[in-house]
Chains A and B, each alone.
Chain A
């Protein structure tokens, strides 16, 4: 390449060597034409060993030399300058020195001169390596978490699907048991046999309800929500029918029904009967056996309400918080408790399907009241 640039003035010459950064001048092909004291000190070569003897890129690591050819040279050629490039200098002795550089092309009497300013960046290098490492660690953690999450989701999906299939398949043999028991009950039987048949019927009935709960639960958990068919209904009649049915199931217990207000409302009669069934069943299980359970159905101006009250020990506040989550049940339940803890969850799902909600009030002395409130 052309002649070296003319020697700068005395003042500039001083500056070239006293500035607090490494300075280099090269020809277009990288041959070093000037190097300041600081730069020489960093690389461990004298100016005489560098000037005219070496190309700037020969002081870089191999990776740096490739980068120099694929990024540095084209950018300098195309835009005349490049800044904040971080490369590593291979020095005479010791480990490589990370440096950050700016460079620009200056025309000196038509001959391009490359001016390079360099700063040692050991601390920045360390810091960046740590950042890169943390990022790598984070990426690994995120990948791991994502994998675990998706595995868990797969397992949960599988479990719920299995439950759906199993409970659906259990219905057929159960209904056959119920039908057979009903047939047997019509024939001439000894008292002890009648009791046995009644027990078979009750157990099959309970198992059927449990399966129906499981199906509802599965449907709700698989994200489809509970199916309801909303029509105009008579709430009081619907609740009264269910209460009547429940009295037969719990002949030894007092079960009251109070009606307030009048008028039709829109809802799913079967689902609301299920609400009454689940809440009463719950009250029978946890309430005091010598106190009545009271069901109240209320029609108000814009909403309807079903509440079920029982006397007995209050539900601890910490249990109240998770009462409507699936698989939760009060600790006082005996081993004969009816369900695996789906009843209240299904009540809350039915309330949701009616755009309503369920709440609980429980305190010592006043007992426990579950209240479902839905828009009319």
Chain B
């Protein structure tokens, strides 16, 4: 296992907040921990908060990116289990966006009893349609995503991230931060896309015993409502909360609706 300093550097861990219990925030495919800046501050008043970047994303240590380890979600889950072990105090609440919801679940299955709750935002156990199961995508769709990533390669790598045309409304964002939000090594981006969109964790769902909130947007191309319902049926102790939102990032587009769904779940579970 990597030492504490190693973990901090590897996953660019930032600890904040104040509280007896710990809330982890794990971003999804595409961006990094800056995704959480609209909802994390509210929880920092009640919880110790831990933000981090998955290896290969954001400011994580790219030297730690081992293509074999991160070919599937288990490699990321092993990292999360280590982070929870080192940074988790009191009860551990795990907020996972998109693919990180499943990463959190796999980490839980590896260390049963360590997680008090999962707060899954736009989760999907399988993105590819399979018989009666509607994941929303075909394999060709994922190939088309890989192509899209590839044709945005030049822009991402030479400029590191889209140039800033000016964000006068958010002067608090420094250039350095802004540039890093979605910056990913093109090869890593492609592999992470494959690890994410070709994952199938449906068989693991019944093994999850931890209270789980499934935060489902009513209009999300990446996690359609049928997927949320599927998860709800297969995770024993789960609550399905559908919020009014178009898109896959409610914590950015409707942070208040997101927070109130999380809050009522936490109240319901006495957490």
Contacts and interface: CB of A to CB of B under 8 A. Distances in A.
State whether these chains interact.
Answer: yes
Interface of A: 28-30, 55, 57, 61-67, 69-71, 73-75, 77-88, 98, 102, 104-105, 107, 125, 128-129, 132
A17 B120 CA distance: 44
A98 to B, nearest CB: 8
Contact of B151 (A71, A75, A125): A125
Interface residues of B, number: 49
A128 B252 contact: no
Contacts of A75: 31, 161-162, 181-182
A156 to B, nearest CB: 30
Contact of A79 (B98, B142, B159, B164): B164
Contacts of A78: 31, 34-35, 37, 170, 173, 178, 181, 252
A86 B162 CA distance: 11
Contacts of A74: 30-31, 35, 181-182, 249, 252
B208 interface: no
A80 B252 CA distance: 12
Closest CB pairs A-B (n = 6) = A63-B144, A70-B30, A80-B167, A63-B145, A29-B246, A62-B141
B182 to A, nearest CB: 5
B150 interface: yes
A112 to B, nearest CB: 9
Contacts of B221: 57, 65-66, 69
Interface of B: 28-31, 34-35, 37, 98, 137, 141-155, 159, 161-170, 173, 178, 181-182, 197, 220-222, 246-249, 252-253
Contacts of A129: 151
A128 B143 CA distance: 17
Contacts of A63: 141-148
A57 B247 CA distance: 10
A67 B148 contact: yes
B151 A128 contact: yes
A311 B142 CA distance: 78
Contacts of A65: 221
Given A71-B182, A73-B252, A74-B31, A83 B163 contact: yes
Nearest to B151: A86
